[in-house]
Each structure stands twice: as structure tokens, then as C-alpha cells.
């Protein structure tokens, strides 16, 4: 099993070209099922989750090739509406294929996604929304068999009781080829939803309101192929900025999405780092010790503070002067990285959804196991700022969401290598 060996103490310095967004590329790859023809999806990150999505597309008969950060798809020979259990298990977010397959094939068989490292991952909102769109759903033996009651899915008015990103995506994917109008109230407003809708509009879809809480989709009879470029990954950006804040140094993120990163940047600047932003650049300089963040850091749906940046910011604040308090409101157990940070010398108390982080003057290297994607990245950020050497195992979690992360860190002067 591969590991990262990281020796802390070096300040990070340099420029980084941000990877394409994992959480945008995945729903866009699912959406490539909908047009009858070829799509060219550029700026796709080379991640294990992206390769899993490519395997699902090929299994459905939608040809999919990943080469040089471009995904080429051709759905003209789509032949199956069933995603095998083993492919569903590779990636929890594969549930987002359900809406696209239903939209194009009017039927779909998937597995109930298992829980993941962040706790149970229910899909009740996904299923109830599909039912409102005229889909019959039967669950048997862990499989979900969906079929339209008659003809195409029907447009519907759907109000989500929580602005779920995945449920919003599934409704959009099912609605673009449905009969009539679909209105989503309390829709998720994440930038990746806007990127998905940008791709679908390039294919001829009729969608308005994405980025706001009400999205209106007018179903079309057909969609055509397109060429599209995935937005930059704002969470990868938050990760590298947190690494520089923790280890000290100067970093310029190129092709960053500044406006979409604002909810994170507004908290990061309270730590005393110097932050400047340009049209699509973010500059950070971190000198001595960070300051603790005075206000409670509450993870919220966009445009609130992103839950995906909670762990990496916590790693940086472990070394701050003073005490910071996190409140994790999105996932049931998203503090699994704290044990590893404490093993490296951090002072963190977890009580339910609250984590109290009392800054310490130094962290020391330790042998730790990545618990999940963003938790593993937090351990890496802490290891780069710690004195001594750390070993991080189970790094397959990190490879799910960060492209060539050891190359990026080494480019910035960090001492890190991947070993078998």
C-alpha cells in the first residue's frame, strides 16, 4: 500500500496551476450521457474518481476516453441502463448517474450507495424527487430499479428540505430531457451546480436560475454534443492555501476561481495571512504564527463556509495563537482526521458537531492513516508544518481528489515523496 513520507519545516514558495474541479467533472461526465453524440470535456483532473466515472460510462455503452486532462465521450451507442454494483461501490457519488440514465434511457438500475467515511449518505431526497418526476422506484437486494411510469420523465415542482448538491444535480440531469417544466425550490447553490448547467446549456438545455435557490428547467426532446472546460477546483485551492498558511511562505494560485472561493477566503484572512486576489489569481503570504479565528467557523451550504475545507483549515489553525471553534453542520462525522492531528501534537477537543482547536506552538511528525479525502489532505498540511518526518498511509483517499499532489508540493519546495 502506498504512503507519503513528509518532512516538515520548509516554507512553501512558488506558483501553482489549479486542477479542474472533481465535484464539477463528475456530474458533467454523468451529463455526457444525455446528448446524442460526442462531447469534449477539457480541464478534467486525473483522479481515481474520474477514472471510476469513465468506467461507468463505458459500461453503459457511452464511449469514454481520458487523455491529457480531456475526457472524450460518445453516447450515440448507449446500450445499458444498469450500473454494476462493483462500479457503484468504487465511488459514492456515482448516484448522480441515476438522473442522467433515467433522463436518456427512461429506466435505471443502481445500488444503494454505501455509507462512506463521512457517515451515512442517505439518498431519500434523490429518490423522492425522481418519484415526483413520474419514476417508479423499487428497492430489492440493495439494488434500486427505476422506471418511468409512461414515456419520458415528467417535469415537476420539487422543494428540497435541504439544499442537497447531489439531489439538485440528479433532478437537473433527469429534467433536461423530461416532458414539461421542472422547478427546484431550495436548490443547492454550489458553483459546481452552475458549471454542470453551463455544460448542459452548451448541449442545448434550457436552464435558468442555477446559482440561486430556484432553478427552472424546460425539458427538450434532444440535446447535442458540445465542447466544455471544467471550472477550477476551489477546494483544491483552499487546500494549497491552507498548506501555505500552516507551513509559512508565499504562494500564487493561477486560474483560481476567486469569487467562488470567497466564503473560504473571508475566513482565511482572519488568521492574519496576507491575501491578495486578482482576476483569476489568489496570492497568499504567511509569515510567523497565524491568529485564531474569533468567530465560530460554521460549515454551511454555499455561499456559506464549505464543509470540504473544514479539515484543511483546522490543520492550519492547529498552529495558531489562540483558540478557534468549528461547527460541522453538513456531515455526521467529518472530524475523523482530528485523532491524527492530535497525534502530531495538536490540541483539539471534539464534542458532537463542535471542534475546539487550541493553537499550539509546534507540531511534530507522526505515522498516521488518512481517514477520508479531505481529512488525509489535512494530515498532509499538518505534516508539512510539523517538525520532523511523518508517514501518511491509506493515501488512496487523497488520490481520489488531488491530482499529482506530491508533484505540486515538491514544486513549492515541500519535502514529500510517495513510496510503495
Q: Which residue is nearest to ligand EPZ (CB)?
A: 166
Q: In the window 386-405, what residues touch ligand EPZ (CB under 6 A)?
A: 401
Q: Which three cell numbers stand for residue 126?
A: 434523490
145 has which bridge partners?
109, 138
Hey, what's the torsion of the CAs at 159, 163, 167, 173, to 10 degrees? 80
Cβ atoms 92, 24 nearer than 8 A: no
DSSP 234-263: HHHHHHHHHHHHHH-EEEEEET--HHHHHH
Which residue among the candidates 64, 108, 116, 203 is catalytic per the annotation?
Answer: 116
Cβ atoms 317, 290 nearer than 8 A: yes
Q: Which of 374, 376, 386, 414 binds ligand EPZ (CB under 6 A)?
A: 374
Does 311 bind ligand EPZ (CB under 6 A)? Our answer is no
Q: Is 116 a catalytic residue?
A: yes
Does 121 bind ligand EPZ (CB under 6 A)? Our answer is yes
Does 126 bind ligand EPZ (CB under 6 A)? Our answer is yes
What gap in Å lies between CA 242 and CA 235, rounded to an integer? 10
Q: Which is nearer to ligand EPZ, 53 or 290 (CB)?
A: 53
Q: Which of 124, 136, 347, 407 binds ligand EPZ (CB under 6 A)?
A: 124
Does 309 bind ligand EPZ (CB under 6 A)? Our answer is no
Do the strands 38-42 and 70-74 form a parallel or antiparallel pair, or are they unpaired? antiparallel
Q: Which is nearer to ligand EPZ, 96 or 383 (CB)?
A: 96
Hey, what's the torsion of the CAs at 183, 187, 191, 195, to 10 degrees? -30
Q: Which of 23, 109, 182, 371 binds ligand EPZ (CB under 6 A)?
A: 23
Does 170 bind ligand EPZ (CB under 6 A)? Our answer is no
Q: Which three cell numbers stand for residue 33?
A: 450521457
Q: Which is nearer to ligand EPZ, 15 or 124 (CB)?
A: 124
Strand, coil or helix: 14: strand
What gap in Å lies between CA 190 and CA 95, rounded to an integer? 18
Closest CA to 14 of 235, 233, 239, 244: 244
Q: Which of 8, 166, 191, 248 binds ligand EPZ (CB under 6 A)?
A: 166
Q: Which three cell numbers stand for residue 75?
A: 453516447
Does 165 bind ligand EPZ (CB under 6 A)? Our answer is yes
Q: Which of 122, 142, 151, 287 binds ligand EPZ (CB under 6 A)?
A: 122
Q: Which of 12, 16, 26, 133 binds ligand EPZ (CB under 6 A)?
A: 26
Q: Which three cell numbers stand for residue 401?
A: 481528489
Q: Pattern of binders to ligand EPZ over 174-213, x per CB under 6 A?
A: --------------x-x-----------------------
Q: Which is nearer to ligand EPZ, 238 or 319 (CB)?
A: 238
Closest CA to 39 of 57, 55, 21: 57
Does 99 bind ligand EPZ (CB under 6 A)? Our answer is no
> What is the length of the chain?
420
Q: Which of 66, 97, 228, 331 binds ligand EPZ (CB under 6 A)?
A: 331
Q: Which is nearer to ligand EPZ, 165 or 325 (CB)?
A: 165
Distances (CA, A) of 302 to 186, 202, 212, 259, 406: 12, 24, 10, 12, 29
Angle at 94 between CA 50 and CA 90, to 5 degrees: 70
Q: Which of 28, 167, 311, 377 binds ligand EPZ (CB under 6 A)?
A: 167
Residues designated catalytic: 116
> Can you give the binding site for ligand EPZ, defined by CB under 6 A?
22-23, 26, 93, 121-126, 162, 164-167, 188, 190, 307-308, 330-331, 373-374, 401
Amino acid at each position: 500500500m502506498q504512503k507519503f513520507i513528509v518532512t516538515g519545516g520548509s516554507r512553501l514558495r512558488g506558483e501553482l496551476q489549479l486542477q479542474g474541479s472533481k465535484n464539477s467533472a463528475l456530474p458533467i461526465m454523468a451529463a455526457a450521457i444525455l446528448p446524442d453524440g460526442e462531447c469534449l470535456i477539457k480541464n478534467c483532473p486525473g483522479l481515481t474518481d474520474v477514472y471510476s466515472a469513465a468506467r461507468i460510462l463505458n459500461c453503459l455503452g457511452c464511449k469514454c476516453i481520458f487523455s491529457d486532462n480531456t475526457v472524450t465521450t460518445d453516447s450515440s451507442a448507449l446500450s445499458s441502463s444498469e450500473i454494476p454494483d462493483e462500479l457503484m461501490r468504487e465511488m459514492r457519488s456515482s448516484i448522480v448517474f441515476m438522473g442522467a440514465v433515467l433522463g436518456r434511457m427512461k429506466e435505471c438500475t443502481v445500488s444503494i450507495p454505501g455509507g462512506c467515511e463521512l457517515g451515512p449518505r442517505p439518498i431519500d431526497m434523490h429518490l423522492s424527487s425522481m418519484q415526483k418526476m413520474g419514476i417508479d422506484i423499487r428497492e430489492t437486494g440493495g439494488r434500486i430499479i427505476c422506471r418511468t411510469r409512461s414515456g419520458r420523465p415528467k417535469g415537476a415542482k420539487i422543494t428540497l428540505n435541504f439544499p442537497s448538491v447531489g439531489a439538485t444535480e440528479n433532478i437537473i440531469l433527469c429534467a433536461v430531457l423530461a416532458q414539461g417544466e421542472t422547478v427546484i425550490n431550495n436548490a443547492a447553490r454550489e458553483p459546481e451546480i452552475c458549471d454542470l448547467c453551463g455544460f448542459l446549456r452548451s448541449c442545448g438545455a434550457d436552464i435558468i436560475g442555477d446559482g440561486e435557490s430556484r432553478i427552472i428547467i424546460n425539458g427538450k426532446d434532444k440535446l447535442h454534443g458540445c465542447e466544455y472546460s471544467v471550472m477550477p477546483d476551489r477546494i483544491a485551492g483552499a487546500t494549497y492555501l491552507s498548506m501555505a498558511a500552516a507551513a509559512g511562505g508565499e504562494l500564487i494560485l493561477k486560474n483560481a476561481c476567486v469569487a467562488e472561493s470567497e466564503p473560504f477566503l473571508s475566513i482565511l484572512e482572519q488568521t492574519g495571512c496576507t491575501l491578495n486576489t486578482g482576476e483569476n489569481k489568489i496570492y497568499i503570504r504567511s509569515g510567523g504564527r497565524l491568529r485564531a479565528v474569533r468567530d465560530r467557523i460554521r460549515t454551511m451550504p454555499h455561499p456559506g463556509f464549505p464543509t470540504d475545507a473544514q479539515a484543511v483549515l483546522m490543520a492550519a489553525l492547529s498552529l495558531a495563537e489562540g483558540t478557534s471553534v468549528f461547527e460541522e453542520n453538513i456531515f455526521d462525522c467529518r472530524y475523523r482526521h482530528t485523532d491524527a492531528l492530535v497525534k502530531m501534537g495538536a490540541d483539539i477537543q471534539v464534542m458532537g458537531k463542535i471542534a475546539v482547536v487550541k493553537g499550539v506552538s509546534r507540531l511534530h511528525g507522526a505515522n498516521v492513516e488518512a481517514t477520508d479525502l479531505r481529512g488525509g489532505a489535512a494530515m498532509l498540511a499538518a505534516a508539512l508544518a510539523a517538525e520532523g518526518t511523518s508517514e501518511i498511509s491509506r493515501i488512496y483517499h487523497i488520490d481520489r481528489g488531488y491530482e499529482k499532489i506530491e508533484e505540486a508540493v515538491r514544486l513549492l519546495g515541500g519535502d514529500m515523496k510517495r513510496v510503495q
